Amino acid sequence: MRQCEASILATHGQCLTTRLYAESMWLPRIDTPRCTGCGWCVAACPPHVLSLQVDDGRKHAELHDVPGCTGCRKCERQCPFSVISMVKVDDGHERF
């Protein structure tokens, strides 16, 4: 398991495990090094599950509430720099 997956599971526990592994879902994948931290995606997200985080003094968008994401793609459409791509997560694996 990758470190990011372990971190998400540690935070969200059984609810996320159940949803991720029981059904297919679409989630935004954010290419963090290319993210400018402009916040357009954060403002566009209806359930407010995206936020700006700061690492080493640099802002970037992050999906902080994975189970709350509806897969609506508004963040992907709003990003002016095409930093977000939607990926299908099926049985715990990304599908392209």
Residues that bind ligand SF4 (CB under 6 A): 28, 30, 35-41, 44-45, 47, 49-50, 61, 63, 69-75, 78-79, 81, 83-84
* Six token digits for residue 17: 């495990």
The distance of closest approach from Cβ of residue 8 to ligand SF4 in the complex, given in angstroms and rounded to an integer, is 14
The distance of closest approach from Cβ of residue 64 to ligand SF4 in the complex, given in angstroms and rounded to an integer, is 10
Pick between residue 9 and residue 60 the one whose CB is nearest to ligand SF4.
Answer: 60
The distance of closest approach from Cβ of residue 70 to ligand SF4 in the complex, given in angstroms and rounded to an integer, is 4
For residue 23, the one-letter residue type is E
85 and 76 Cβ atoms separated by less than 8 Å: yes
Q: In what order do the strands lie in the sheet with 84-90?
A: 25-30, 84-90, 93-95
Distance CA 15, CA 29 (A): 20
